[in-house]
Each structure stands twice: as C-alpha cells, then as structure tokens.
Amino acid sequence: MQKRTIKTVAILGGGPAGSAVGTYLARKGMDVVMFADGKRPPLIVGESLVPAVVPFMQDLGIEDEVATYSTWKGGATFVYNPEYRLNIWFDEVRGGGTPAYSYNVPRDRFDASVRDAAARAGVKVVEAKGTIERDGDSQRMKLGEETLAAAEEVLHGRQPDWIIDAMGRGRGIPKLLDLPVDAGDRRDTALHAHMQGVEVQISTNVHTDRLSHGWCWRIPLPGRVSVGFVLDNDFARSLGGTAEEQFDAFMEQDPMMSEWSKNGRRITPVMKYNNYQARVRQGVGENWALVGDSFGFVDPVFSSGMLIALQSAKALAEAIEDGSPRAFEEYQAYVKTNLDCWRNVIDRYYDGRLLTLFKLGQHVQQRFWGKLMSFHFRKHMPRIFTGDDVTNRYSTWLIEFMSTYGIYGHDPEEYRIL
C-alpha cells in the first residue's frame, strides 16, 4: 500500500467509535459520510465509563450534556463477599493524568450525544444501513450500489477513498473477507437488564461483585440500576431456556444477589451476549480499517470497551490523515497492544490474583520489599481502574510482577471467578 491522500471517507456504523472517528476526520477537512440505521438493542454493555474517557468527551464537546442525564461516578467498589468489599476512589489515585471522576451513562442517550457531535462537526449522517462488497478477488472494499447512491451528497457517485467498519461485533469486513479472529480463553454468557429497587452500597460507584458463580456488575443510573451477570455458558444454560429465565433464576439463586434484590424488580428485557472475547488479527486493508468493537472486544469487567473505542477512533483518524503504510501499521499495532494489555489485567482478575493482591495491599506494603515498592504500587496499580496506565510498559510489568510475587504465601484460588 502506497502513501495516499484520503479526502472522502465512508463509515459503516453510528456508535461511539464510528461517530468519534467521523468527528475527528471532519475536523481535519475530510468529506465524511456515516451510515447509521438507528437500530440498536434495548440495552448495550458499556454504561460505566472510566475517567480516561472524560477527556474524549471534553474533546468532542459533550461532557456538559452527558452530565445532565448521567450519574456522577466517583470510584469503583469490588465486593468479595457479603463481609468484605474494597473501594477505589478516583480522587485518591496518585499521579493520574485524567480527571478524578467519570459518569455512569444511559447508553442510548450517550450514543446519541456522540453521534450529534459528529453531525455538528460536518459528518453527513445517513439513516440507513450501509452495505459493502468485495472488489473482485482483492481485499479492497466498495460500497453497495444503494449505499453509494444514498451518499450522493458527499461522494457524488464515486467510491470513497477509505471505508471504516464501525459495525461493532457484527464485524462486516472481517466476515466478508473471512479474516482470522483470536478468541479469548473464556466461554461466558453476559445477561444484562435494568432494575429498580436493587441495593448499591455506594450510590456513585460502579460495583463489581464476585458471586457463587461468575460475577456481576451493578451500575447506578438515574432511576434504576443496571445489573449484568457474567456466567459460564454451560451454567447459564442450566438456569433456563431463555435469557429472562436465566437472569431471573440466578437472581433468586445467588445468596448475595437475592439479598440485594429482595425489593427489586426488572423493568427491561434481558439482553444476552455469548463468547464476546475476540480480536481480529488484521485491522487494516488496502482501503479500509476496523475501529472499536469491530477490531476487538475484551471483557466488560473493567469498563474498558468505551475507552478502547475512543482511543482507537482518534488513533485511526491520525493514521488516515497521514495516509502512509507505516501510519496504518502503527495504528494496527497500537490497538492490538491495547487489547492485549487489558486482556492480561482481566486474566489476573479471573484467576483471583488481582483481588488477592488488592486485599493484601496493606499487608504487602509492611514487608521490607513491599515498603520499597509502596510508592510504585500506590501510584500505578489503582490507575488500571481509571484507564490511565494499562498500556504503560512499566505499569503492565508491575501488575504482572505484583500479582505473581506480591501475593506470595496466599492462595488466589479463594477469589478465582468460577
């Protein structure tokens, strides 16, 4: 692929990743058309945002609007069992480069805010599903005839210089080209609904609870709580034949959740996601690129999905502006590294090491070597929850080192996620 000047861009998908990359490209003077059919599930995973997302909201000019309909988020609460929980407060995280707060957002309104920002920036939003075709036997992509015609105002009957797949886990280009995908090690089901009357221990915090099977999130939203269970596929199937049956049965069966939801009621349908850990090996082609969940999604446990989507949107816009093969190679490598770093941290959560380490934090720091590491521990480790340092080489090394040696003499099996 030679260096090229890209002037026209078509984006398939109008979620936050597509809308954000469209905004950045339009600001660079490119002609951008985005196809967003408006069809979306009732609920979408990714309602709790890490503080590192806030600068992107500010850059897109939507933070004040988002704050009017969201719950202000001051930290994260990890519930080990009914007797013990750990609170991480963002304003106590040392040396962070992001604001000491974030938001829990209704995703329908948040997605609309990001999409409206794209329209204000000059992106032509076409309310229709965009279709793509393979150009002969090559890996080049082209818009379908009806899609091209719908973008007449921007493309004037000519194929765009660049096509972006922002279709989420639908992954249009990877499926069309049969690109290899690396799946994660876990085979989980996520069951997600909104409820009223569910207890939360701290009204501003996202809650991550270790349960009898799997784990759950409790996200305080205005007038409701988002509840999601992440369970092994086989166990989820044993609970019933439908998503609603599985969700309601586990809510009654798990001792902790049955207690916290004794006055609760479900007010939405249950959304179900299976085997969602995946990363496409090739994120860039001759005239196309993947962004956001189309490129890869790791896991909902640390609320990293939206941050990765917005980071990759900005990085892709910069690569398209540059237009060189090297810029696109660097974009692809950046996203892969980002996903891999988050996956490593998430693995330490599931195998019990991260929960063990944080519970032992004070004890670890009382050892001789622990005192030497104390400054680094308190500076770097909590920042994985703000999104600051997950791709920092030193921080990733420290997480691995401490979750291996910092728990010496303590069995992480006690806190493994079953």
Same domain, 172 and 202: no
> In the prediction, which pLDDT does 63 show?
98
In a domain, 36, yes or no: yes
User: Are residues 177 and 225 both part of a single domain?
Assistant: no
Q: How far apart are CA 118 and CA 26, in angstroms?
A: 8
pLDDT one-digit tens code per residue, 88-144: 888 877 666 789 899 999 999 999 999 999 999 999 999 999 999 999 888 999 999
User: What percent of the chain lies above the pLDDT cut of 90?
Assistant: 69
Pick the last residue of a domain from 293, 308, 342. Answer: 342
Look at residue 82 and tell me whether its pLDDT is greater than 90: no
**Gap between the Cα atoms of 317 and 319, Å rounded:** 5
| Boundary residue ending a domain (274, 301, 320) | 274
Tokens coding 341: 């770093």
pLDDT given at position 302:
85
List, in order, residues 6 or more apart from 188 with CB less than 8 Å away: 214, 230, 231, 232, 233, 274, 275, 276, 277
Answer yes or no: do 218 and 335 share one domain.
no
What is the CATH number for 65?
3.50.50.60
- Whether 114 is covered by a domain: the verdict is yes
304 and 255, same domain (yes or no): no
Shared domain check, 320 and 209: no
Contact 113, 66 (CB under 8 A): yes
Read off the tokens for 62: 């939507």
Are 142 and 123 within one domain? Answer: yes
Question: Residue 297 above 60 pLDDT?
Answer: yes
Q: What is the chain's mean pLDDT, rounded?
A: 90
CATH number where 223 lies:
3.30.9.100
Asked if 220 contacts 203 with a C-beta cutoff of 8 angstroms, the reply is: yes
Same-domain status, 264 and 403: no
Write a three-state SS string for the chain. Answer: CCCCCCCEEEEECCCHHHHHHHHHHHHCCCEEEEECCCCCCCCCCCCECCHHHHHHHHHHCCHHHHHHHCEEECEEEEEEECCEEEEEEHHHCCCCCCCCCEEECCHHHHHHHHHHHHHHHCCEEECCCCCEEECCCCCCEEECHHHHHHCHHHHCCCCCCEEEECCHHHCHHHHHHCCCEEECCCCEEEEEEEEECCCCCCCCEEEEEECCCCEEEEEEECCEEEEEEEEEHHHHHHCCCCHHHHHHHHHHHCHHHHHHCCCCEECCCCEEEECCCEEECCCECCCEEECHHHCEECCCCCCCHHHHHHHHHHHHHHHHHHCCHHHHHHHHHHHHHHHHHHHHHHHHHHCCHHHHHHHCHHHHHHCHHHHHHHHHHHHHHHHHCCCCCCCCHHHHHHHHHHHHHCCCCCCHHHHCCC
Report if residue 284 sits inside a domain.
Answer: yes
Closest Cα to residue 105, out of 16, 230, 202, 213? 16
Tokens of 288: 């196309």
Instruction: Round to whole Å and give the CA distance between 100 and 91.
Output: 5
Are residues 376 and 327 in contact, defined by beta-carbon separation less than 8 angstroms? no
**Residue 17: pLDDT above 90?**
yes
Q: Quick one: 337 and 360 in the same domain?
A: no
Amino acid at the residue 139: Q
Domain boundary, last residue among 274, 305, 325: 274
Residue 366 has pLDDT above 80, yes or no: no
- pLDDT at residue 371 tops 60: no
Structural domain contains residue 303: yes
Q: How confident is the model at residue 363 (pLDDT cuts 50, 70, 90)?
A: low
Tokens describing residue 86: 């750990």
Confidence of residue 272 (pLDDT cuts 50, 70, 90): very high
pLDDT tens for residues 172-211? 999 999 999 998 788 899 999 999 999 999 999 999 999 9
CA separation for the pair 104, 222 (Å, rounded): 9
Do residues 232 and 318 both lie within one domain? no
Q: Both 360 and 310 in a single domain? A: no
Question: 284 and 159: one domain?
Answer: yes
Let me know if residue 314 belongs to a domain: yes
pLDDT of residue 365: 53
Residue 3: inside a domain, yes or no? no
Domain assignment present for 90: no
403: in domain: yes
Does the pTM of the predicted model rise above 0.95? Answer: no
Q: What separation, in Å, do the N-terminal and C-terminal C-alpha atoms of the chain show?
A: 46
CA distance 327 to 140: 18
- What is the β-pairing status of strands 188-196 and 162-165? unpaired
Q: How many domains does the chain divide into?
A: 3
Model pLDDT for residues 210-224, shown as the tens digit of each residue: 999 999 999 999 999
Residues 338 and 360 in one domain: no
For residue 20, give its domain range: 8-70+105-181+277-342
The predicted pLDDT at position 10 comes to 98
pLDDT of 398 > 90? The answer is no
